[in-house]
Chains A and B, each alone.
Chain A
């Protein structure tokens, strides 16, 4: 991959700065000193090897795990492997869809990544073009390409090809070469899953290629803004799709570990150095009002209890599910954690929250009593339920978290029930996954609820993390 166009320094500097700017807009906080490091990296490594350059720039600009995907996507746009259509693709112009599928099946059977990459290039060129050329609707669509190519339907065909043992085992394709002895090899049962992973890789290649081609006609900045996914901790809970939620669920455990150390540190800090003002002043009476010896507050060894009231209806379910999992994983930091779920009726679900459970909302919907005569959320009704049935779970050591968007479908919001809950508790917070600009619009009564209890915007993992580590009582 040596198709880097020769550039003079001026151009390269501008490109690097634009690249860093694009990274920042996607949540990688690279500062000036990082940019200087990156420039030094380019200076040392040169531009002749793109893979080395990628790793080198990553080491200077990415400062934590989990940002690498964003970096790679942006890197592909700003330092593309080539321009326009490659020669292989030129040769293949006029190829039919079926030929392409056969080619793909062969490459998958071989497990040859290089070939897969070339096929992705071809496929986008042949199948992916959308919009009208030379206008601002022009571009290449990964979605359209994959929809026409349907690589997931090739699995059976590929397995058959491998089974024949004819396909030479290059690259990763160790499985096929050794299959001759007998098809009951232990590793054979892994083939289907491995194939699925290869197809997923191919899918990503197509997406990257579509972004690259589109960036050529529409400009890199436009594509970066719209097509590069933000890192996991910036994904909006409300607009996350199933796959993203699944990814988020996998980050719960490490996140909980980090938060636990932070909470533990805060607790340690609380234990010492807190001056009891009232008793210090009282003692200062003995020395003529001069506080010579401060009195320190007694440490409070009891850990707080946590009660979660989660709206699990429709769009909020993703956010609630993530937070329930997180709190469960953090349970060692609290003396007791109880989780309640509601749509318009409140029920305890503490025992159902298990990190292994992928479809938490579904299970709660099936097994818990969370709806009455209708299925739209009704906060007022649910709070009234809670006040009536579970009020004894809230005490002066309890911190109550309400999770929900406050969209009440024009029912009675029942502020007094929420007020009562918040009065009995030590602290009550409302975490709202909607942007604060939308609170109070439409059927949302979030801004009225915000007057009763403290409300925080929690659109993504980043904001949730900040809330847990700074505000949650320890």
Chain B
């Protein structure tokens, strides 16, 4: 293992230096994933920092981050490797007088291979963090491929033979739970459910990201956002939106929250009209608007 930590506290400290404030749950699970050499499956609502976590791990351990973005229809050629057909054709036309055997051994060599993220991660010598993003968007067939790769960290290319990883990459899979992932895939991973952080932690995050923000204002911002999350909204404000809101308030030069400023900037945290209406009613903003 090249991506390694000494203890959960060490994880926390090093991630914090990389600009990611981790909760106990996150720190412990990252530590275990690194120590036990298991992939980490991260689930949770959008905007709680699932992708940012792997970026922070990469930065904290000076590893390279290799990212495989999944989408409907992503296939082996996009995820694993592909032969560079155009280049192969050029090579064949260039060597006109060659025998078939010569040409064949040449065009199926490393030069004509296009490694995609999974193969890249396996072939790398240095420490590597492999991020497989939004794995629930990919088709079920890709899961089978992932099982093989994540199981023994080796890939078989028929023409080249089996390529095994010299050192296991630190693998993070993220999912928004739009589709049930198969049991087999879940079983191979450590599971981490990231939820909205506790108010204290969120206030710290806001102040880390928006350095000039007053502590009192940061606390108030987080309290309002938490109150909004308790409402039955179509889209609860995420951490990213809290930070955006804090930036907005800072840009407007607000030093305390009052009805007017909240009313004006509610659009930064709530993205649906009915949500805005609901929040306005619940937070008694209407009384001000009317006057």
Contacts and interface: CB of A to CB of B under 8 A. Distances in A.
Interface of A: 29, 31, 33-34, 37, 40-41, 44-45, 51-52, 55-56, 58-60, 62-65, 68, 171-172, 174-175, 178, 185-187, 189-190, 193-194, 197, 250, 254, 257-258, 261-262, 265, 356
B4 to A, nearest CB: 12
B286 to A, nearest CB: 13
Chain B interface secondary structure, helix, strand, loop or mixed? helix
A415 B186 CA distance: 47
Which 3 A-B pairs have CB atoms at the shortest separation, nearest pair first? A55-B28, A186-B257, A174-B219
Contacts of B192: 59
A63 B28 contact: no
Contacts of A190: 223-224, 227
B8 A62 contact: no
B232 to A, nearest CB: 7
A6 B258 CA distance: 55
Contacts of A52: 8, 24, 28
B207 to A, nearest CB: 13
A174 B223 contact: yes
Interface stretch (B13-21, B116-124, B177-185, B265-273): B177-185
A56 B216 CA distance: 34
A44 B220 contact: no
Contacts of B199: 172
Nearest to A181: B256
Given A52-B8, A185-B256, A190-B223, A60 B190 contact: yes
B284 to A, nearest CB: 6
Given A64-B191, A172-B199, A187-B220, A59 B32 contact: yes
Which of B38, B232, B283 has the most C-beta atoms of chain A within 10 angstroms of its own C-beta?
B232
B10 to A, nearest CB: 12
Contact of A40 (B36, B179, B224): B36
Interface residues of B, number: 43
Contacts of A55: 24-25, 28-29
Nearest to A113: B198
26 contacts: A34-B187, A44-B36, A45-B32, A52-B8, A52-B24, A55-B28, A56-B28, A59-B29, A59-B32, A60-B32, A63-B187, A64-B177, A64-B191, A172-B199, A172-B200, A174-B223, A178-B219, A185-B256, A185-B257, A186-B259, A187-B223, A189-B284, A193-B230, A262-B179, A262-B180, A356-B232
Contacts of B227: 190, 193-194
Contacts of B193: 62, 65, 68
Interface of B: 8, 24-25, 28-29, 31-33, 35-36, 38, 43-44, 140, 177-180, 183, 186-187, 190-193, 199-200, 216, 219-220, 223-224, 226-227, 230, 232, 256-259, 262, 283-284
A31 B232 contact: no
B46 to A, nearest CB: 12
A124 B90 CA distance: 81
B222 to A, nearest CB: 9
B29 A56 contact: yes
A205 to B, nearest CB: 16
Nearest to A53: B28
Contacts of A250: 232
B270 to A, nearest CB: 15
Contacts of B35: 44
A52 to B, nearest CB: 5
B53 to A, nearest CB: 13
Given A51-B24, A193-B230, A37 B29 contact: no
A197 B178 CA distance: 29
Nearest to A40: B36
B32 A186 contact: no
A346 B20 CA distance: 57
A175 B257 CA distance: 13
B190 to A, nearest CB: 4
A261 B220 contact: no
Nearest to A51: B24
Nearest to A172: B199
Nearest to B194: A65
Given A65-B44, A65-B177, A174-B223, A59 B258 contact: no
Contacts of A29: 183
B25 A58 contact: yes
A258 B224 contact: no
Contacts of B219: 174, 178
A175 B43 contact: no
Given A59-B29, A62-B191, A172-B199, A186 B186 contact: no
Contacts of A185: 220, 256-257
Nearest to A189: B284
B130 to A, nearest CB: 18
A412 to B, nearest CB: 42
Given A174-B223, A186-B259, A258-B178, A56 B32 contact: yes
B114 to A, nearest CB: 29
Contact of A37 (B24, B36, B226, B230): B36
Nearest to A52: B28
Contacts of B259: 186
B177 A175 contact: no
A197 B198 CA distance: 13
Contact of A59 (B140, B183, B190, B283): B190
A142 to B, nearest CB: 23
Contacts of A60: 32, 190-191
B11 to A, nearest CB: 11
B190 A258 contact: no
B262 A59 contact: no
Nearest to A29: B183
A111 to B, nearest CB: 10
Contact of B224 (A64, A65, A68, A187): A187
Nearest to A182: B256
Given A193-B230, A194-B223, A186 B25 contact: no
Contacts of B180: 258, 262
A63 B39 CA distance: 13
Contacts of B44: 65
A186 B32 CA distance: 43
Given A62-B191, A64-B186, A186-B259, A254 B177 contact: yes
Contact of B262 (A64, A186, A258): A186
